[in-house]
Amino acid sequence: MSVVIQLGTTEHQVTEEDLQPILTKAGLELSDPLLQDYSTLLSGLDAAIASLPDDKAVKPHPDLTKYPRTDIHIPDDNEFGAWATKVTAKCTSPTSDLLKGRTVALKDNMAFAGVRCTNGTAMVDWVPDIDATIITRVLDAGATIIGKAACENSCLEALSGTAVTGQVHNPYAKGYSAGGSSSGSGRLVSTQSVDLAFGCDQGGSIRIPSSSCGIVGLKPTHGLVPYTGILSLDATIDHAGPMANNVRDCALFLEAIAGPDGWDDRQPPFGLEGDRLKFVDPVDVVTSREHSKMLEGVKIGVLDEGFEVPGQDPNVVASVKSAIEKFKSLGATVAPVSVALHKEAPLLWTCGLPLPGGRQSLLGDMDGRKQLYLTDRAELVGPKLTQAQFDALGPGASNMYIGYLWFQEKYGAKVQGKTMNLLKATSDGYDKALQQFDVLVMPTLPYPPPRLPEPDSNEGPLAFLNRTIGLVANTCPFNNSGHPALSLPVGFVPAREDPSVKLPTAMQIVGRKYADVECLKVAAAWEKAFDWKSL
């Protein structure tokens, strides 16, 4: 590493006594001359760090005159757990009317200046001073933000029972999961408390609550929507996207938020512009056709392995297969397709998550990316969690942290790299299948929403997490691969715990990368032709 600070003149002296304990902890021994040299070199590094200017000036601070926010409060009635914080915000001079008249809920892992951001946990108290890029975009499109929706603890749960603001109940059956981690978003859209809600998805956190609550949710292509100003789980699988009551609204929302923002290096610097960011008109063209021609010429591949998930509920299988069969009446060609590595993809997701997830999500230790770093929140967490911070975690988050410590100590970068390398073949498998078909279809979730534990339950993490074993089998593979994946409600199925309780189920539609519009068109045609609530 080159030296840029003149040595011997720094006021930030690192002594041999300062350095020795660090070397001892690392298992290193240096001779006295080397110890002196490195102490001097580190003094230069410390001086460089001390001379850094404040980064506050370069952060995207909002113009609070143009984007005012009022009535910030924690509601007494949080609508069965769905609201974390209420706030009213609207742009005084929007640049378009794309979302005019629409109300929007933010997921509570998104930075919105002056409004607390819990990330579903009491681990830290954080009030951001910036706005996430996509929040500014919906305000510029004329929408009104009316609050922040609850999310699961550290966004690391698929069951809606861990948010610091309380359990989020399924809109169709109190006591059952609304899905996670975008649990509040799913419920609020389903009950029409808001028109639109943001979700964020690293393993299914848009699609799980969308399926559970009977709404439409799209995990966009990785990089299509900027993740700037949103708490990360792992930059390689972070996605933010729309949740809505119908496909056209989902397309409308996506059109308002998609495209590069100049911060997020997951976004290609060119090519994402113009018609590639238009999603509503293509949907309208499809739904304007007569019934039998809406999907004329479209090839739909039914993913065999998506119906071979261990523990899959036969009612879900029957409902989704019936929904897929209906595509034929819309003019589409429907045929089976196999991607054998789909079965291994959840294993790779599981093994690839602890090391980066523990660092990025729980410790806020981001590196290796050109993006906006949330340095003020990172300051609230040290190089390791305190006992109090660990105790504030939910079962999924605490399991993540223990897994991170174990992985870091026992395996390290070698296994992490192996996992990342293996993922390439899985992604290639989907790409190959999508050369033959326009979209792939399968169940979003393998079984209906589980019952929530009793609010005062003291069950351990093993019992809690057992409720959602295998739930992400069809969702998490596409976080790793980056393909767009949309959840579309297609009917009701009996709850496993009580057959008299009927809960939504959904079909997942997966498209080529940056062909999110194809997922929307196929979903819109099915939605236009069939009423899922009557099936």
- Rounded CA gap, 446 and 444, in Å? 7
Q: Cα–Cα distances in Å, from 372 out to 60, 199, 200, 219?
A: 9, 19, 17, 21
Strands 216-219, 299-303: pairing kind: unpaired
């890029």: which residue's tokens?
Answer: 133
Which is the catalytic residue, given 181, 190, 210, 319?
181
Which is the catalytic residue, given 190, 205, 210, 487?
205
- Rounded CA gap, 450 and 503, in Å? 10
CB 182 within 8 A of CB 158: no
Which is the catalytic residue, given 39, 43, 107, 160?
107
Query: Tell me, what DSSP letter sits at residue 359?
Result: I
Q: Which residue type sits at 337?
A: V
In the residue annotation, 322 being an active-site residue is answered as: no
The torsion angles phi and psi of 244, rounded to 5 degrees, stand at -150, 170
Query: Tell me, what DSSP letter sits at residue 100?
Result: T
Residue 183 CB-density burial (10 A; 0-12 exposed, 13-18 middle, 19+ buried):
buried
For every residue of 246-305, DSSP letters joined together read: SHHHHHHHHHHH-S--SS-TTS-SSS--GGGG--HHHHHHHHTS-GGGTTTT-EEEEEGG
- Rounded CA gap, 127 and 117, in Å? 6
- Rounded CA gap, 151 and 409, in Å? 30
- Rounded CA gap, 242 and 199, in Å? 6
Dig out the tokens for 99 from the structure. Answer: 């979302």
- Rounded CA gap, 429 and 427, in Å? 5
In the residue annotation, 107 being an active-site residue is answered as: yes
In the residue annotation, 2 being an active-site residue is answered as: no
Beta bridge partners of 145: 89, 104
- Rounded CA gap, 318 and 446, in Å? 11
- Rounded CA gap, 301 and 430, in Å? 11
Other C-beta atoms lying within 10 Å of the C-beta of residue 95: 11
Which of 364, 398, 110, 113 has its CA nearest to residue 235?
364
Active site residues: 107, 181, 205
